Structure formats: C-alpha cells, structure tokens
Amino acid sequence: MLANVNATRMELLRLRKRIALAKRGHRLLSEKRDEISRQLIRIARDIQPLRQKVEAELSQTFRRFMLARATMEPEEVKAALAVPTKKFKMAIELASIMNVKVPRLLKNIEGEIICYGYSYTSGELDVALLSLERAFDSLIELAEKEKQARLLAVELQMTRRRVNVLEYVVIPEIEETIKFITDKLSEAERDNISRLMKITDIIRK
C-alpha cells in the first residue's frame, strides 16, 4: 500500500488534514458512546423494578379474575364484558437521546372500565378490572423504556464499532503513511543537499 503512495508535500498536507478530521471524529464518537452508555444504564436501572411491578400487578389481576369466575357463571362474565365502555387510543411521539430517535407512548383513555350493572356481577370482577386498569399504566411505561433500551443498545454497538475502526485502523494507517511520506521527503531533501554540496565543491575547484 505504501509503495503506491505519492510522497509529495501536497499529499502530506492532505493526509494531515484527514488525520485531524479523523481524530476529531474519534473524540466526538467517543463522547457519544460514553453518553449513550450512561443513558442506557439509567434506563436499565428503571426497567428491572418496573418489570417486577408489572408482573406483580398482572399476577394480582389474574388472581382477581379467577376469583370472579369462581363466583359467577361463565355466561354471566361473558355478558358483563360484552359491551366495553372504555375507549383507548395510543400515539407515539419521538424524542431524541444523543440523536437516537426513541419512542414516547402517549395514551388517551376515555370512559369507565366497569361496563356493566351491579345486579348480576361479583365484586371480585370490579376489583379485577380496576386492578387491570392500574397495571396498564405500568405496562405502557415498561414497553416504552424497553424499546428505548433496545434502540440505544443498537446505536451503542454501532458507535463502538466506528470508534474502534477509527482508533485501530484508520488513524494508525494515516499516521503510518504520514511517517512514510515524511521519511521520503527528508531523504529526498538530504539527497538534494548532498548534490548541492558536490556541485559547490566542483565549482570551487
């Protein structure tokens, strides 16, 4: 590779500009990598307790539904839940973390979750539905944070790869080429000086 390099001052100037740009890019990418790592750690710390909370709430909700089914006929449960009165809509808003687009889940809920009269239903069914309603908020938050964590992890991996390529491949190769050209130019300069000295000696004689 070095044998095909033009050992000229113009090429040396071009390479010095290129290595300055590569080092600046390396520094910026390193800062981005470190900040993404910090954000990812922060989100990961939130995910674990939130997941435990969601699992506990859903487990409680499931137990309440089982109790409700135990105290009501299947047809009564089906009839009570046949016409829902609660409407749910969700929108996704994009936020930016270190230029990584991550989702924020926005919910719009209208109406009451209890969609039946109280004459033929169990109180356990009321408790189960209200428990499900509470769990839903935590579930949305968990989904949002887990998606953010996945996107940041992918970006972190890509950024690390770019940093490594610059640090271990691009910058060392440019530095090696600069050294090669510098040595060649120094050698040519020494040869020129040697020739000039010989010419000077000839003229003096």
How far apart (Å, rounded) are the C-alpha atoms in residues 118 and 50? Answer: 33
CATH number, domain containing residue 82: 1.10.287.3240
Asked if the structure places residue 146 within a domain, the reply is yes
The least confident of 97-101, 160-164, 168-172 is 97-101
The confidence score (pLDDT) of residue 120 equals 63
Q: How high is the mean pLDDT of the chain?
A: 85
The confidence score (pLDDT) of residue 97 equals 82
In three-state secondary structure terms, 142 is helix
Asked if the structure places residue 205 within a domain, the reply is no
Asked if the structure places residue 154 within a domain, the reply is yes
Higher per-residue pLDDT: 75 or 56? 56
Asked if the structure places residue 30 within a domain, the reply is yes
Asked if the structure places residue 69 within a domain, the reply is yes
Asked if the structure places residue 51 within a domain, the reply is yes
Query: For the whole model, what pTM was predicted?
Result: 0.74
Number of domains in the chain: 1
- Structural domain including 107 reads 2-197
* Digit-coded pLDDT (tens) for 84-101: 776 777 788 888 888 888
The confidence score (pLDDT) of residue 144 equals 92
Asked if the structure places residue 202 within a domain, the reply is no
- In this prediction, residues 168-173 reach a mean pLDDT of 95
* Digit-coded pLDDT (tens) for 104-127: 888 777 767 776 666 567 777 778
User: Cα dihedral sign for 131, 136, 137, 138?
Assistant: positive
Higher per-residue pLDDT: 120 or 31? 31
Asked if the structure places residue 203 within a domain, the reply is no
Instruction: Confirm if 102 and 151 have CB atoms less than 8 A apart.
Output: yes
